[in-house]
């Protein structure tokens, strides 16, 4: 039986997982919470790596990430931490180039691919898909076997869904005849429907070559031919990534905030994730207003005002009348904010846990609420404080019976 002063939510989730993927829209504390989950697991004794795609400058400083991305960096833990934590900032272009070098059958072939002007342009665009490059980095870290847990901070919601269909799209491309056609550009011209069309297309390509100074067709042909030797390795990795995403030890955490303006986006995103065949294992609601009376089980309403009424009479007499009025007004505003947050949280619960919701078709996700911290967790000490909130009963957790 779980001790009553422990949170069975994310603590249990992390114990069961090899990979934790944090999802959600921007502005809900996703990157900070991913770091806090990693810190909590490291404090609990695990060897942890956290992969972050685009952290805020303050968080980058808090994790003491080096300026050069793509390298694991040991993060100092507070005294008493028995595990280890390493952080890495995604280097999308570097990952792509590194894969070409590793998967090419010969170093000379790899250098030809990397030097090809078409590759330099195509690779830059492809590497811009941070979601897929993050998966490539994740696969490397998991395969190395140096860590018990890898926590992934994904791009904002608009790009995070690329995580789930990217392996299939890559496999579809590699299994097509695209490289075969590109290796013989004359076949592209031959595909034109008429002699006039072939002439026009040939003239356009020749004009582009004169304008750019590139031997466009020959460069495309050379790249397709050379890259063909690398595709078996990319195909194998895409299959491994697909399997890892759906592995029983990979867990997905949806980040949210009690913000009425973000509720619709969060529910829509969760529905899209569900349609992609991915189960949300936990929902973390950040920045929830909490008072001491809440933890004691006191009912809502005017809790701060009641605290004001219990102040010793002698202390009250030392307050000015204007200060007393301001304190009472602040207490009321806090109660209004907390009640508004609670209404939003209930709407999220209904949408994410309700029987009619998309998430309700599978196991109910764990539900964890994290308190609003002051100051905000933008330093390593703040992230550690958030991690400790994940470890103890200050985080409310519910799961299916």
pLDDT score of 285: 92
Q: With respect to residue 304, please indicate whether it lies within any of the assigned structural domains.
A: no
Q: With respect to residue 329, please indicate whether it lies within any of the assigned structural domains.
A: no
Q: Residues 174-227: pLDDT tens digits?
A: 676 555 555 555 555 555 455 555 555 556 656 655 655 556 667 777 777 787
**128 pLDDT band (50/70/90 cuts)?**
very low
- Domain of residue 179 covers 10-295+336-398
pLDDT score of 25: 81
Residue with tokens 């901070």: 153
The number of domains in the chain is: 1
> CATH code at 238?
3.40.50.300
Q: With respect to residue 214, please indicate whether it lies within any of the assigned structural domains.
A: yes
Q: Residues 239-276: pLDDT tens digits?
A: 999 999 999 999 999 999 999 888 888 898 888 888 88
- 95: helix, strand or coil: helix
How far is residue 234's CA from residue 227's CA, in Å, rounded to a whole number?
10
Q: Residues 344-371: pLDDT tens digits?
A: 999 998 888 764 444 445 567 888 888 8
The more confidently predicted of residues 86 and 360 is 86
- 74: helix, strand or coil: strand
- 22: helix, strand or coil: strand
Q: Give the pairing of strands 396-398 and 19-23.
A: unpaired
How far is residue 380's CA from residue 207's CA, in Å, rounded to a whole number?
56
Contact 25, 157 (CB under 8 A): yes
Q: With respect to residue 179, please indicate whether it lies within any of the assigned structural domains.
A: yes
How far is residue 338's CA from residue 291's CA, in Å, rounded to a whole number?
9
**Which residues make beta-bridge pairs with 23?**
254
Q: With respect to residue 227, please indicate whether it lies within any of the assigned structural domains.
A: yes
Contact 188, 221 (CB under 8 A): no
Q: With respect to residue 257, please indicate whether it lies within any of the assigned structural domains.
A: yes
How far is residue 91's CA from residue 68's CA, in Å, rounded to a whole number?
8
DSSP of 296-338: TTPPSSSHHHHHHHTS-HHHHHHS-HHHHHHHHHHHHHHHHHH
How far is residue 262's CA from residue 194's CA, in Å, rounded to a whole number?
53
Q: With respect to residue 259, please indicate whether it lies within any of the assigned structural domains.
A: yes
What average pLDDT does range 49-56 have in this prediction?
A: 84
Average pLDDT, rounded, for the chain: 77
Q: With respect to residue 5, please indicate whether it lies within any of the assigned structural domains.
A: no
Whole-number Cα distances in Å, 259 to 38, 168, 239, 288: 25, 35, 38, 10
């Amino acid at each position: 039986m779980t001790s009553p002063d422990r949170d069975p939510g994310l603590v249990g989730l992390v114990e069961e997982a090899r990979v934790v993927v944090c999802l959600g829209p921007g502005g809900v504390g996703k990157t900070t919470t991913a770091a806090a989950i990693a810190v909590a697991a490291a404090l609990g004794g695990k060897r942890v790596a956290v992969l972050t795609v685009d952290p805020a400058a303050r968080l980058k400083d808090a994790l003491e990430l080096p300026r050069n991305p793509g390298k694991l960096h040991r993060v100092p833990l507070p005294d008493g931490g028995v595990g280890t934590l390493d952080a890495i900032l995604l280097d999308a272009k570097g990952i792509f180039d590194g894969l070409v070098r590793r998967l090419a059958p010969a170093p000379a072939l790899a250098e030809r691919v990397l030097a090809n002007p078409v590759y330099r342009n195509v690779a830059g665009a492809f590497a811009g898909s941070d979601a897929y490059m993050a998966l490539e980095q994740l696969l490397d870290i998991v395969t190395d076997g140096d860590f018990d847990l890898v926590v992934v901070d994904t791009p904002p919601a608009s790009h995070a869904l690329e995580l789930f269909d990217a392996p299939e799209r890559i496999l579809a491309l590699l299994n097509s005849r695209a490289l075969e056609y590109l290796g013989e550009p004359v076949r592209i011209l031959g595909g034109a429907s008429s002699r006039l069309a072939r002439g026009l297309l040939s003239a356009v390509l020749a004009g582009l070559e004169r304008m750019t100074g590139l031997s466009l067709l020959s460069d495309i042909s050379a790249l397709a031919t050379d890259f063909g030797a690398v595709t078996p390795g990319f195909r194998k990795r895409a299959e491994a990534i697909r399997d890892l995403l759906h592995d029983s030890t990979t867990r997905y955490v949806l980040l949210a905030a009690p913000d009425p303006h973000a509720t619709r986006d969060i529910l829509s995103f969760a529905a899209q994730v569900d349609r992609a065949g991915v189960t949300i294992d936990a929902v973390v609601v950040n920045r929830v207003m909490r008072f001491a009376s809440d933890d004691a089980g006191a009912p809502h309403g005017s809790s701060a005002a009641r605290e004001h009424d219990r102040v010793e009479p002698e202390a009250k007499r030392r307050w000015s009348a204007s200060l007393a009025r301001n304190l009472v007004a602040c207490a009321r505003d806090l109660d209004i904010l907390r009640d508004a947050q609670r209404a939003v949280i209930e709407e999220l619960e209904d949408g994410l846990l309700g029987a009619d919701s998309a998430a309700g078709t599978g196991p109910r996700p764990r539900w964890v609420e994290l308190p609003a911290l002051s100051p905000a967790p933008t330093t390593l000490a703040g992230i550690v404080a958030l991690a400790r909130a994940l470890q103890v009963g200050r985080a409310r957790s519910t799961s299916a019976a």
